[in-house]
Amino acid sequence: MVTEVTEGVKVTVFTEYQPDYSSPAQNHYVFTYHITIENNSEHTVKLLRRHWYIADAGYPVREVEGEGVVGKQPVLEPGDTHQYVSGCNLKSGIGKMHGTYLMERVVDGKNFQAAIPAFSMLAPYRSN
């Protein structure tokens, strides 16, 4: 589990390898990542966009950008938490992801980038 805090917004990530959905013989490895976003600031914030960098060992880095997270643009009051689960497919079984959320401070419309900490994805047998 990894955590990063930006302007009071705490992002925590936990990953899991999904063997039932993976096919190593076909270079297909599936991982889920569980994200918790906590608003520890004194302002209401809204998550507008996400921007991911996905490194897959031996392959070019991919970028994914879009509105919200899993179809939502959550608004977090001070003290609120938003959790979601999403997934990533890798070809190598070894990778990393990191990125940012574009957040808006609702009171004045100020935007800021909340860091998503870098996290590793490693198929269990690849660690030997």
DSSP state at residue 25: G
Domain 2-123: assigned CATH number: 2.60.40.1470
User: What does the pLDDT look like over 61-114, one tens digit per residue?
Assistant: 999 999 999 999 999 999 999 999 999 999 999 999 999 999 999 999 999 999
User: Is 88 strand, coil or helix?
Assistant: strand
Please tell me whether the overall predicted TM-score, pTM, comes out greater than 0.85 for this model.
yes
Q: Residue type at 121?
A: M
Q: What distance in Å separates the CA atoms of residue 36 and residue 82, rounded to the nearest whole number? A: 6
Compute φ and ψ for 39, nearest 5 degrees. Answer: -95, 95
How many other C-beta atoms lie within 10 A of the C-beta of residue 73?
12
Residue ranges of domains in the chain: 2-123
